[in-house]
Amino acid sequence: MDVKLVLLPGDGIGPEIVAEARRVLEAVATRFGHAFTFEEHLMGGCAIDATGDPLPPETLAACQASDGVLLGAVGGPKWDDPTAKTRPEKGLLAIRKEMGLFANLRPITSFPEMLDASPLKREIVEGVDVLFLRELTGGIYFGESGTGERDGHELAYSTMVYDESEIVRIVRLAATAAMGRGKKLTSVDKANVLECSRLWRRVTEKVVKEEFPEVTLEHVLVDAMAMHLISRPKDFDVVVTGNMFGDILTDEASMLPGSLGMLPSASLGSSGPGLYEPIHGSAPDIAGKGVANPLATILAAAMLLRHSLHLEEEATAVEAAVRAVVAAGHRTADVAAGGASIGTAEMGEKVLEALAA
Ligand code: NAD
């Protein structure tokens, strides 16, 4: 398979962790007989420094012409000035919008050897394996908003809007994912209050009933879901929800395994390349020290293999290598709980060894 991949290392620890993920992808290509070519482009703070634009047009064009995009992280104190003309995060919103990435997938899996890193009790997090699908380009973050005045008081409003087509496409993706897993789909909304959620519920019912009769569908209100996620997270298989509810719930869920450095995510559209990244930020406090955990980015590369290149065996091999490394007790400082730790490159090396084994 001939594949063109774009790497966007970004800022802070981004270049260090993306370098390790690249080595893993190169090893996958060699082992499985594929030809992967890599192009690196600027995005985020480094792109602002070089061009004044967090997402330069040539970066976007390269991403759109690729088979998949792997992003490190963007941002850092250097670009935090609220009065600045532009910010690194603007690049993130722009790339999602321009590439039509309407679905954010976040698998939340606990590692048996790291259960004590979780703020929750072992028996609650042991065996957690949930896939979240968050709608990414609609809802209240994109609805009409504004400010004004009412009875002499300042006023502001943000509106939540979804049309049927936006709900159909994310529910289809979620139900398809459920078919490949436990065939259980949980849709989260606030249908007891919001009209938008009532439409979400009706459309979800229809899509699942007509197109995915084997999938068991349940509806859960977002407030209840916030509780269930920390009291019985093992009961969930695939969860689908709108933009704002997904934003909040996926951050809550990311605490279940106890380490940001282990969790990948994918943003997908209806067609075209997907964007893959770790869920953590650019960790400026440890940038350049060679101690960052590269495993979330390596797992994001595995998601790229699975969702954009449809190389399931290769994706599973990378995930198995990461699990083997963790099971063998290798830890970067963030997950070492004060014990012995190894650096970013050494962790990458361990994954390569496990992949070759
Ligand atoms: P962060 O995720 O960068 O860091 C939070 C803490 O986790 C820090 O102590 C950091 O050292 C640690 N950490 C994160 N990833 C790690 C890794 N791979 N290995 C070891 N330790 C790790 O969050 P923050 O400090 O709130 O944000 C820093 C910058 O990143 C900000 O500019 C923020 O806007 C940006 N950010 C970017 C993205 C993105 O690019 N998608 C996401 C979140 C935050």
User: Which atom of ligand 1 lies at the shortest distance from residue 10's CA?
Assistant: 40
> Which residues share a beta bridge with 107?
131
User: How far out from the chain centre does Cα 6 lie?
Assistant: 17
271 pLDDT exceeds 90? no
Q: How far apart are CA 351 and CA 318, in angstroms?
A: 8
Residue nearest atom 38 of ligand 1, based on CA coordinates: 281
Instruction: Report the separation in Å between the CA atom of 175 and the middle of ligand 1, taken as the mean of its atom positions.
Output: 31
Q: What pLDDT is recorded for position 47?
A: 98
Q: 318 CB contacts (<8 Å, ≥6 apart)?
A: 24, 28, 298, 299, 301, 302, 305, 351, 355
Q: Convert the pLDDT of each residue in 29-82 to its tens digit.
A: 999 999 999 999 999 999 999 999 999 999 999 999 999 999 999 999 999 988
| Residue spans per domain, the chain | 1-107+261-357, 129-255
**Mean confidence (pLDDT) of the chain:** 96
User: How far out from the chain centre does Cα 33 lie?
Assistant: 28
249 pLDDT exceeds 90? yes
Residue nearest atom 13 of ligand 1, based on CA coordinates: 283
Q: What confidence category does residue 259 fall into, taking pLDDT thresholds of 50, 70 and 90?
A: confident
What the block records as the tokens of 354 is 């496990």
Q: Are 43 and 12 in contact (CB under 8 A)?
A: no
Instruction: Report the separation in Å between the CA atom of 14 and the middle of ligand 1, taken as the mean of its atom positions.
Output: 10
Count CB neighbours of 206 within 10 A. Answer: 14
Among 3.40.718.10, 3.20.20.70, 3.30.420.40, 3.40.50.720, name the CATH number for the domain at 129-255: 3.40.718.10
Q: What confidence category does residue 337 fall into, taking pLDDT thresholds of 50, 70 and 90?
A: confident
What the block records as the tokens of 58 is 């040539």
Q: Convert the pLDDT of each residue in 170-190 to its tens digit.
A: 999 999 999 999 999 999 999
Instruction: Report the separation in Å between the CA atom of 311 and the middle of ligand 1, taken as the mean of its atom positions.
Output: 29
Q: How far apart are CA 348 and CA 333, in angstroms?
A: 14
Q: What pLDDT is recorded for position 244?
A: 97
Q: 20 CB contacts (<8 Å, ≥6 apart)?
A: 294, 297, 298, 344, 345, 347, 348, 351
Place of tokens 């995510």: 265
Exposed/middle/buried for 94, CB within 10 Å: 0-12, 13-18, 19+? middle
Beta strand extents in 269-351 (DSSP E only): 275-278
Q: What pLDDT is recorded for position 333?
A: 93
Instruction: Report the separation in Å between the CA atom of 295 and the middle of ligand 1, taken as the mean of its atom positions.
Output: 14
Q: What pLDDT is recorded for position 312?
A: 95
Instruction: Report the separation in Å between the CA atom of 284 and the middle of ligand 1, taken as the mean of its atom positions.
Output: 7
From 282, 285, 299, 341, give the residue whose CB has the most ligand 1 atoms within 8 Å, as the site to mutate.
Answer: 282
Asked if 1-107+261-357 and 129-255 have one fold, the answer is: yes
Q: How far apart are CA 24 and CA 319, in angstroms?
A: 11
Q: What confidence category does residue 252 fall into, taking pLDDT thresholds of 50, 70 and 90?
A: very high
From 260, 341, 344, give the residue whose CB has the most ligand 1 atoms within 8 Å, as the site to mutate.
Answer: 260
- CATH number corresponding to 1-107+261-357: 3.40.718.10
Among candidate residues 244, 200, 194, 193, the one with its CA nearest the CA of residue 219: 200
Average of per-residue pLDDT across 120-147: 95
pTM equals 0.93
Residue nearest atom 26 of ligand 1, based on CA coordinates: 281
Q: How far apart are CA 11 and CA 235, in angstroms?
A: 37
Q: How far apart are CA 74 and CA 91, in angstroms?
A: 9
**Site residues for ligand 1, CB cut-off 6 Å:** 13, 17, 73-76, 89, 92, 260-261, 277, 280-286, 292-293, 296, 332, 334
Q: 234 CB contacts (<8 Å, ≥6 apart)?
A: 124, 126, 127, 128, 129
260 pLDDT exceeds 90? no
Average of per-residue pLDDT across 258-271: 91
Q: Are 275 and 95 in contact (CB under 8 A)?
A: yes
Count CB neighbours of 89 within 10 A. Answer: 15
Residue nearest atom 43 of ligand 1, based on CA coordinates: 281
Catalytic site positions: 141, 190, 223, 247, 251
